[in-house]
Amino acid sequence: MAHRLATEYVKTCLQLTEAEMFRFIQMFVDQQVTLQIKVLENGNQEVVFQDEGQEIVLSFEQKSGKYECKGSCRLSNTRLANLMRKAVSEFKGSAIVNRIYTTYTMVYYYEHGAVVKIVEAKGQNENIIYEYKDTLGQMEQMFKRKEVEREIEGIHHHINRLLDLRNLLKDQGILKQIDERLGQLTQRLFALEA
C-alpha cells in the first residue's frame, strides 16, 4: 500500500454555531491534541492545534452569529489529517483535499460534509475514480420533463380542435374569441418548448 506523504486541505470552508465551535475544539482535545485559542478584539478566533511537531492554524471569523473558517493547511501528521477529515464531514463543511503520495495525488471534493468526487492525478493526467450522481434528483427532473411533454401534447390537441372549429364557423365574434384563445395557447406552447 502506498504511503501518504501529506494531506493538503485547499479551499476549506466551515461554518459553525457557538455550540458547534465548542464541539469542534472538543473533538481535537479528546484526541490529546495541544491547542491554543486566541480571541481577537473583534470576536474572531484563531485556533492553533499542535501534535507531534505539526501545527494547524485556523482563523474563524464571526459572521451573523456563526464562526466561519476559510483557508488551507498542509499536514503530514496522520492524526491531525484524520481529525480535519472528520471535522469537515461532521460539520458539513466544503473542501478540496489533496492526499499526496509519491507518484500520484488523490483529490477529494467535499460538499456539505460528503465526498462528491474523487480524482486520481498523475502529472497532467486525471482519472475520475468516483463522482456522486443525484439519481433521485435526475428522476424528478425526468418526471417534470414528461409533465411538460404531456402539457405540450394537450395544447397541440386543443389548438387542432380550435382550428377545426374555426374552419367551420363564420360568426366574426366567435372567430375573434377563438383567435384570442389560439394566441394564448401559442404563447404557452412557446414558453414550454423554450
What's the CA gap between 53 and 46, in Å, rounded?
18
Residue 121 C-alpha cell reads as 492525478
Q: How far is CA 134 from each of CA 97, 98, 138, rounded to the nearest angstrom?
A: 22, 24, 6
Concatenate the DSSP letters of all residues of 34-48 into one string: EEEEEE-TTS-EEEE
Residues 150-163 have a mean pLDDT of: 86
Does 31 score more than 80 pLDDT? yes
State pTM to two decimals.
Answer: 0.67
B/e letters for 156-189, b = 16+ CB within 10 Å, e = fewer, are eeeeeebeeeeeeeeeeeeeeebeeeeeebeeeb
Does 87 score more than 90 pLDDT? yes
> 62 pairs with which residues across the strands?
67
Tell me what pLDDT residue 71 has: 87
Name the helix (H) or strand (E) containing 4: none
Does 16 score more than 90 pLDDT? yes
The domain 6-132 having CATH identifier 3.40.50.11810: the answer here is no
Confidence of residue 40 (pLDDT cuts 50, 70, 90): confident
**156: CB partners within 8 A, 6+ apart:** 189
